[in-house]
Structure 1
């Protein structure tokens, strides 16, 4: 089975030997002595799969027991990565948006059953009744009836109106253009992976706080967790190769590094659905906070609210041979998937993220207080298989 991740956003993002090895490794506790030589292992996997860079971290009982980043920031170039380099985590941002929503519920600004029309109806008049009646929890569990990205949605994401609005207003404008669509829950499983649903959930959060989603993320999640490398959009600073850049897979199989600008990430209107970047160590902090069920602090939400976020809400339908970035089957909570892998004792809390230029995976076993994060600045089948191999290997190594 595979995890869950974002879909390809636009045809130009459709994805599907390095000179010298430089790596950075951080081992913070003696527990790592039982583990493998992580940097050497990652570099072998990276080379076998033709990836530019690959990073991973293992968090056990509240401690980073191993972390490494190997390879180069640009395929075929000598720009060695470091342990502090930023990687794009794509739709793994969704669990952060769900946590922001949990904060709003605890503060009485939203309810899990708050409806789109109830919160946004004054700003977006004339919504279809079915859309207006969809709830916050349905949006966050992909069960509202809003479908997976289609041509109409993609055209709205890439609309040139982006040059006329601030992002919060642009999201309202996007919804205003889509508002007359009727939505319906399919027979069987109600699950339909919906980036638009998460954009709307982000809009609801913005409405009740009067604050842009991006600002809330920095103030309410990044700062308390001391995720100093966390940010939004393309990883590299404009004009610098200071992070592993994403790579577009061309029809002939070659890879083009996408450095900066609009081509280097999805449109920022999609941010609540997935445009965060951060170092593997900062991503480990997010994984650790969730693995510890929030008990180790900081207290972003109560244990009860976090349990609600991390609990199954819907079963996902079976898909044969799904492309990288779409679910195969399993269950889904609020920003988290739950998958039973044949190499694990039971269901693993998990998610994938990809903007079709980069790929990230997270796996959490709360019962063992164990978490694994894996990132690469490549996408497509090879990246997905390589990151999955690393995740499995590290899980098996640390559960022996």
Structure 2
């Protein structure tokens, strides 16, 4: 038998060590870890389409796309595929305003009426006192989501002028500047303030001041032709345990009233450019000049309005502090400063998260109703930095969320299975056209032996009125309107009047039925 000399043995083991070192390089280990997270979330939630990236020290260290633009189409999600980023738009709107502040065209403490003389809130003293900064930090005193029925469901016929005019009729439920209450309408006002100060429409300014200097050329806002953009991810809703497309885009995408609050679409590549612009304050704009001053960067990330950490934040992330900046949520996560935001539209969910002290962050884009999956991603991806040896992986968080949903008191929605169509005769003297000061007209009229509720400006807000015991309920025709509403007629009101409220008290706050007050203004045509 041939003997192997000591030198050969040494070379053999050194080669094994080198091979192992290559296999276990930090980059490979990181990719394997992140792939495991994505694979586990995908196995649990079977998302229709997904785009996810991680940025560290100015570099994209991980990027992955999965699934389809449209379920069943075979068209794969790519790094340039455009997703609706929804409320992640808000930080772009505030960045635009900050650029105008840097240019001397605007001040944060300017009164809103300096730029929009016809702007009014419900209370005159608030109209006088409200400043540009107040439009951005959810301190208006309005109910969370007040007036959102002028924005969603889409499409509808409300304009920004309608939104701004309607604000004067929305009654506050708290005192101005007294507490946090999430708001979309005032971001639309902020967009119009930017337009007045910047001398151009909001969409043009956002392209000029944010997209162009940061190289985010694929992002879209406002009207555009589908053929002039990268492929569009289509929204999906969960029906019978599977995702189905809803509200698919046509060949032309229209501008919407809500663009400054949630109308931007971006792909993964451009969103990583957005993250890098924030993680590296010294990074120049495309032309080599500073994109934003250090002073304005500090303003945008300064705690402006206190928030109460959620139970999940306290228990899962050991969070003690939470606040809203200008278009960003701020908190501590396992003792580390975290900046981020979420975006939610029907069938579209997004997430941006930054750990500035680590110069690290990530973005998640999903084209399905996926709030639970987004929460799992947020926890699992953040704790890679803050608690790397944690035993809590995606499955642990997904199981915890599922247990919450199955708890006996998790749902406060009553049983309405014993519903029946309402006959027109049961509303004798109350059929007709009704008007709310900010939402406009709706018709409660007989159609085919039943009573139909139909909104003039929001076509998807149409359905049949049914009886559930002593109460009346609107059963919406469109699946996209997924929060049913009670109708309660005022006793002995002249003219007839009714109010509305959510069937499920925990439904999305953007179904702000509670802010409506209808009075009869005419007969059915």
Q: 1:180 to 1:118 in 2, by over 3 A?
A: farther
Are the aligned partners of 2:58 and 2:359 in contact in 1 as well (CA < 8 Å)?
Answer: yes
Distance 1:399 1:318 in 2: 24
Q: For 1:283, which of 260, 271, 274 is the aligned residue?
A: 271
Instruction: After TM superposition, list the pairs within 5 Å mapping 1:192-207 onto structure 2.
Output: 192-207=181-196
Instruction: After TM superposition, list the pairs within 5 Å mapping 1:46-61 onto structure 2.
Output: 46-61=42-57
Q: For 1:156, which of 150, 154, 173 is the aligned residue?
A: 150
* Cα distance, 1:139 vs structure 2: 1.4
- Cα-to-partner distance string for 1:61-93 (whole Å, 9 max, x where unaligned): 111111111122223442222222222211111
Distance 1:75 1:194 in 2: 32
Q: 1:138 to 1:70 in 2, by over 3 A?
A: same
* Cα distance, 1:393 vs structure 2: 5.7
Instruction: After TM superposition, list the pairs within 5 Å mapping 1:175-190 onto structure 2.
Output: 175-181=164-170, 183=172, 185-186=174-175, 190=179
State yes or no: 1:67 paired with 2:63: yes
- Cα-to-partner distance string for 1:23-54 (whole Å, 9 max, x where unaligned): xxxxxxx9734412345652442232121122
Are the aligned partners of 1:236 and 1:260 in contact in 2 as well (CA < 8 Å)?
Answer: no
Are the aligned partners of 1:143 and 1:191 in contact in 2 as well (CA < 8 Å)?
Answer: yes
State yes or no: 1:268 paired with 2:223: no
Distance 1:119 1:182 in 2: 23
Range with bigger deviation, 188-197 or 210-219? 188-197
Are the aligned partners of 1:88 and 1:276 in contact in 2 as well (CA < 8 Å)?
Answer: yes
Instruction: After TM superposition, list the pairs within 5 Å mapping 1:300-311 onto structure 2.
Output: 300-311=291-302
Cross-structure match for 1:244: 233
Instruction: After TM superposition, list the pairs within 5 Å mapping 1:134-149 onto structure 2.
Output: 134-149=130-145
Q: 1:63 to 1:161 in 2, by over 3 A?
A: closer
* Cα distance, 1:118 vs structure 2: 2.5
Cross-structure match for 1:222: 211
Aligned length: 354
Q: For 1:332, which of 315, 319, 324 is the aligned residue?
A: 324
> What secondary structure sits across from 2:84 in the alignment?
strand
CA RMSD of aligned residues (A): 3.7
Q: TM-score, normalised by structure 1?
A: 0.77
Q: TM-score, normalised by structure 2?
A: 0.60
State yes or no: 1:358 paired with 2:354: no
* Cα distance, 1:149 vs structure 2: 1.5
Greater relative CO, 1 or 2 (CA 8 Å, sep 6+): 1
Distance 1:208 1:340 in 2: 35
Structure 2 unaligned runs (5+)? 1-24, 314-319, 391-525
Distance 1:117 1:187 in 2: 17
Cross-structure match for 2:481: none
* Cα distance, 1:368 vs structure 2: 1.3
Q: 1:399 to 1:347 in 2, by over 3 A?
A: farther
> What secondary structure sits across from 1:269 in the alignment?
coil
Q: For 2:362, which of 372, 382, 393 is the aligned residue?
A: 372
Instruction: After TM superposition, list the pairs within 5 Å mapping 1:77-116 onto structure 2.
Output: 77-116=73-112
Are the aligned partners of 1:353 and 1:361 in contact in 2 as well (CA < 8 Å)?
Answer: yes
Are the aligned partners of 1:236 and 1:242 in contact in 2 as well (CA < 8 Å)?
Answer: no
Bigger-Rg structure (1/2): 2
> What secondary structure sits across from 1:367 in the alignment?
helix
More strand by share: 2
Distance 1:320 1:188 in 2: 24
> What secondary structure sits across from 1:95 in the alignment?
helix
Q: 1:282 to 1:136 in 2, by over 3 A?
A: same
Cross-structure match for 2:200: 211
Cross-structure match for 1:292: 280
Range with bigger deviation, 153-162 or 40-49? 153-162
